[in-house]
Amino acid sequence: MTSPARRGGFTLVEILVALAIVAIGLAAAVRATSQVVAGTESARLRLVASWVAQDRLAEHSTRGDWLAPGTGSGSASQGPFTFAWHETVSSTSDPSLRRIDIAVAGAERPDYVMARLTGYLFAPEAKK
């Protein structure tokens, strides 16, 4: 007796293996996409935090502030975000310059600094 001819096609086991491979590939793609999204959001927050620091320095420069050495802190909003900033003003070897270090963090995590900026302020009489 001869065995019946085998028909072409896939077996159930072959289909299950193929589905398992596709599922693993899709899971990896979803994970990679979520990491890209998280990285993009982090970069966006750091960029906006740097704008807050630049705004603080520009505000002091524009007003012609001559800040006393010391520290100060506060909060600022930029778009939908709220940040906490901390400034440290220090004297320099040039009496007509003051150094200002600005650190900006998220309001919910003030210990995690997202942006730092160092600038110098001129004494009001030195600008003339």
Q: Name the residue range of residue 93's domain.
A: 12-127
Residue 114 lies in a domain: yes
* pLDDT higher than threshold 60 for residue 3: no
Residue 40 lies in a domain: yes
Strands 70-78 and 97-106: unpaired
d(CA 107, CA 30): 30
Instruction: Report the CATH number at residue 106.
Output: 3.30.1300.30
Residue pair 56/76 in contact (Cβ under 8 Å)? The answer is yes
* pLDDT higher than threshold 80 for residue 96: yes
Residue 79 lies in a domain: yes
Average pLDDT, the chain: 90
Residue pair 85/74 in contact (Cβ under 8 Å)? The answer is yes
Residue 90 lies in a domain: yes
Stretch 75-92: mean pLDDT = 94
| pLDDT bucket at 2, cuts 50 / 70 / 90 | low
d(CA 95, CA 125): 11
Stretch 17-21: mean pLDDT = 95
- Per the structure, the count of domains in the chain is 1
Residue 2 lies in a domain: no
Residue 1 lies in a domain: no
Q: Is the pTM above the cut of 0.75?
A: no
- 57 versus 3: the higher-pLDDT residue is 57
What is the model's pLDDT at position 72? Answer: 95
Residue 80 lies in a domain: yes
Residue 4 lies in a domain: no
* pLDDT higher than threshold 90 for residue 75: yes
* pLDDT higher than threshold 60 for residue 108: yes
